[in-house]
């Protein structure tokens, strides 16, 4: 059993990581916390930390884009031109899908607890399509809460099955 501070650090780090997010942080909480109250504390921390991702990511992406587009370096100007073309092309092609489902589609995208459908990817999608930061962040947070609920239910189901077999 790891110490509480180490457990918190590991779960928070996992919840903030682009690959694992709550899909990895919640099972980690189940693995490292034997006590149910500690486990729920870790799960709540995982959800809260992963919910911060869109607020951070959208601002970081905007800063990076502004830095790239305002650079006077020749190589950066070429990169900025290619980036602008790529983003414009993605916006044009994706608007028909995002326009149909909007922020609800973004929330559902995050709610499905599969790899690469988390808050980081959704934040990138929201940025590329120029969605409102606040509305996109709220939709992503709703998706994080739903995905977290699904993961918790799955973990509880696995534990129930294991207990039945033992």
- Phi, psi values for residue 131, rounded to 5°: -75, 160
- In this model, does residue 1 exceed pLDDT 90? no
Give the pTM. Answer: 0.88
| 49-81 per-position pLDDT tens digit | 999 999 999 999 899 888 888 888 888 888 888
> What mean pLDDT comes out for the span 5-29?
96
Residue 130 backbone class (left: φ over 0; alpha: ψ -120 to 50; beta: rest): left
Classify residue 35 by its DSSP letter: S
| 31-53 per-position pLDDT tens digit | 999 899 999 999 999 999 999 99
pLDDT value at residue 99: 73
| 102-156 per-position pLDDT tens digit | 899 999 999 999 888 899 989 988 998 889 999 999 999 999 999 999 999 999 9
| 123-138 per-position pLDDT tens digit | 988 998 889 999 999 9
Question: How far is Cα 70 from Cα 82, in angstroms, rounded to an integer?
Answer: 14
Of residues 24, 35, 32, the one with CA closest to residue 6: 32
Torsion angle of C-alpha atoms 133, 139, 143, 144, degrees rounded to 10: 40
Of residues 75, 59, 50, 83, the one with CA closest to residue 151: 50
> What mean pLDDT comes out for the span 155-160?
96
Average pLDDT, the chain: 91
């Amino acid at each position: 059993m790891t110490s509480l501070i180490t457990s918190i650090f590991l779960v928070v780090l996992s919840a903030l990581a682009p690959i694992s997010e709550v899909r990895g942080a919640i099972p980690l909480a189940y693995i490292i916390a034997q006590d149910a109250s500690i486990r729920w504390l870790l799960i709540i921390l995982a959800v809260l930390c992963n919910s911060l991702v869109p607020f951070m990511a959208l601002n970081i992406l905007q800063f990076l884009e502004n830095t790239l587009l305002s650079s006077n370096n020749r190589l950066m100007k070429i990169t900025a031109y290619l980036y602008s073309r790529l983003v414009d092309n993605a916006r044009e092609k994706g608007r028909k899908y995002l326009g149909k489902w909007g922020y609800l589609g973004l929330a559902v995208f995050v709610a499905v607890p599969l790899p690469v459908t988390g808050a980081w990817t959704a934040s990138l999608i929201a940025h590329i399509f120029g969605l409102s930061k606040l509305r996109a962040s709220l939709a992503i947070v709703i998706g994080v809460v739903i995905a977290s609920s699904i993961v918790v239910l799955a973990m509880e189901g696995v534990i129930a099955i294991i207990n039945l077999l033992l």
